[in-house]
Amino acid sequence: EIVLTQSPATLSLSPGERATLSCRASQSISNYLAWYQQKPGQAPRLLIYDASKRATGIPARFSGSGSGTDFTLTISSLEPEDFAVYYCQQRSYWPPMYTFGQGTKLEIK
Amino acid sequence: QLQLQESGPGLVKPSETMTLTCTVSDGSISSNSYYWGWIRQPPGKGLEWIGNIYYTGSIYFNPSLKSRVTISVDTSQNHFSLKLNSVTAADTAVYYCVRGNLLAPGAIASGIYFEDWGQGTLVAVSS
């Protein structure tokens, strides 16, 4: 089973600052990685797929990069509504097995 | 716009079977472009994939839950269901139904991500 490890567990920043979140896979997953945002009491929302493609309606301040085992989600300039928990997710090829990272909580400093 | 709505009991007793239904609105569950699944989240914890079902009826499960899980589709009602038997307190979670895009129409088991989510329903296991 491929394990995704996210860091840091908690990131404290102020609005307007740049956020960099990391996700590391225990083995290469090419670019098949997604990022989700979850706000309290809400379902997760797909932000990024295929490591770097923004999902429909996602603002340009969100960007993803990486391939193989190391991936990054960057929020260029934090807006108040960006403070949330972020999860990365991958799928193993066969049999299909979907796993998530443990999450990074982005909190207001 | 597609809507997914989970429904089911909020409280289940230990050792019993939990059944949840996801009703799909403004989208056909018979489409060969999508797959349907369940993901859960224990209170204060992360996300765990439970399983997916495809328009052909093919199903793939998380191996850790496979022996206790059934997923089925009712195309006449445009909904799909999750049954989890022999529940324990460890099964207490918010359960989400999800939809994902297949990489190509008809390409069973090709989906990678979860594009659409229901609002989730909390199921507590307690006597």
pLDDT in tens, B32-80: 999 999 999 999 999 999 999 998 889 999 999 989 999 999 999 999 9
Task: Please report the pLDDT score of residue B36 as a whole number.
Answer: 96
Share of chain B above pLDDT 70, in %: 100
Task: Please report the pLDDT score of residue B8 as a whole number.
Answer: 95
CA distance A54 to A57: 8
Cross-strand pairs, B101: B34
> Does B106 score more than 90 pLDDT?
no
CA distance A2 to B51: 17
Cross-strand pairs, A37: A45, A86
* Spatial contact of B27 and B98, defined as CB atoms under 8 Å apart: no
- Which of A46, A95, A103 minimises the CB distance to B60? A95
* Chain A interface with B: residues with Cβ < 8 Å: 32, 34, 36, 42-46, 49, 55, 87, 89-91, 95-103
3-state secondary structure of A103: coil
Task: Please report the pLDDT score of residue B109 as a whole number.
Answer: 83
- Which of A44, A95, A96 minimises the CB distance to B117? A44
Band (pLDDT 50/70/90 cuts) for residue A94 is confident
Amino acid at A46: L
Rounded to whole angstroms, what are the CA distances from A90 to A44, A98, B29, B77? 15, 6, 24, 31
Task: Please report the pLDDT score of residue A1 as a whole number.
Answer: 87
> Does A44 score more than 90 pLDDT?
yes
